[in-house]
Structure 1
């Protein structure tokens, strides 16, 4: 088993960041390490214990280049939208500076996606079609496992970034990889060793700004 970083649970949870610019694009990632991370991911909760998730690990340069091409097309549209991280502004200079850094790192990842050693797509068996209305029950059986994968990767000196922009071309990527129509993709995780492991907690809003107790009224009111 791969040697783990000396992180206690709280350190692991609060320092697992979306890593983009600090992904080491030159260092190979052994498939066995990815398998270790996925074994951890399979311990995540899943509705009715269905375990209907699937994991597509892509290392072939041609396939990565094709996926990166679709991602770049989607990212270009995102970059010109109001949702782009660099377009979001707040009444807080420090938070605005953070948004600028996030946008720069997102730009970097989009430009270098094909060079990332491993791409991992988390998917789940759906059936004939996605359920109507709130789909939390469905995705709640996949996304916690994907986060567990990211935590396991961090513990082994690897970094990743949660991305979903590829879903604009989900059908094309499914055809490229031979993913059945009844299996839907939920997340794309570019994975590589990181340049250094000294990640820190990110600045966040205060808990009281988003905490509600017994009603929607904020606790700080």
Structure 2
């Protein structure tokens, strides 16, 4: 097992950030390290303990390039529509633009997917489906962070999900939920991010 960073649980939870500009694009990431983090992620809950998730780990340059092309097709109209001009909005836009430009050079891309069968996604509330995948994806990000790896939660490629599915041979009945670019990161200054006050979003015994 790889050596873990000396982070207590609260530090790990509050300093796991979306890493884009600080991804180290030059340092290879061993597949065994991704496997180790995924084994931790598989301890996450899933509905009825079904464990119908699947994880597609991509380090092949041509396949990464294909994913990046689909991502950029979705990113261009997305970033053009952004209206935030405050400092935080500009910082996020700059970071996101950088990731779109370099995505195929990130050492590893991990796609989290889930089996839904021939019936596809339900028409109504889909919390049961995504609640059986996304907690594990977040657990994966935490496990990566504990091992000195950065990641960023992205979903824009899902606008071209069928193209990516064909590229990777993902079968019918399996839907993608998240794309995580993964690399070692540069620097160590990860801090808790500004958030809205708890009392702005807390409701006790009703709205």
Q: Which TM-score bucket, shorter chain as reference?
A: over 0.9
CA–CA distance in structure 1, aligned partners of residues 56 and 80 of structure 2: 30
CA–CA distance in structure 2, aligned partners of residues 28 and 179 of structure 1: 25
User: Does residue 182 of structure 2 align to residue 191 of structure 1?
Assistant: yes
The 8 Å contact of residues 124 and 185 in structure 1, kept in 2 or not, is answered as: yes
The 8 Å contact of residues 158 and 193 in structure 1, kept in 2 or not, is answered as: yes
**Which residue of 2 is the match for residue 101 of structure 1?**
91
The 8 Å contact of residues 52 and 125 in structure 1, kept in 2 or not, is answered as: yes
Tell me the TM-score normalised to structure 1 length: 0.92
The 8 Å contact of residues 157 and 197 in structure 1, kept in 2 or not, is answered as: no
Q: Structure 2 regions of 5+ residues with no counterpart?
A: none
**Which residue of 1 is the match for residue 105 of structure 2?**
115
- Which structure 1 residue ranges, 4+ long, deviate > 3 Å from structure 2? none
The 8 Å contact of residues 41 and 148 in structure 1, kept in 2 or not, is answered as: yes
Secondary structure of 2:128's aligned partner: helix
User: Does residue 142 of structure 2 align to residue 146 of structure 1?
Assistant: no
Q: CA deviation at 1:5?
A: 0.6
Secondary structure of 2:161's aligned partner: helix
CA–CA distance in structure 1, aligned partners of residues 114 and 34 of structure 2: 19
**Which residue of 2 is the match for residue 60 of structure 1?**
60
| CA deviations over 1:79-128 (Å, ceiling 9, x no partner) | 122xx3xx235xxxxxx312211111000000000000000000000011
Q: Say what the alpha-carbon RMSD is for the aligned residues.
A: 0.8
Number of equivalent positions? 206
CA–CA distance in structure 2, aligned partners of residues 178 and 111 of structure 1: 25
Tell me the TM-score normalised to structure 2 length: 0.98
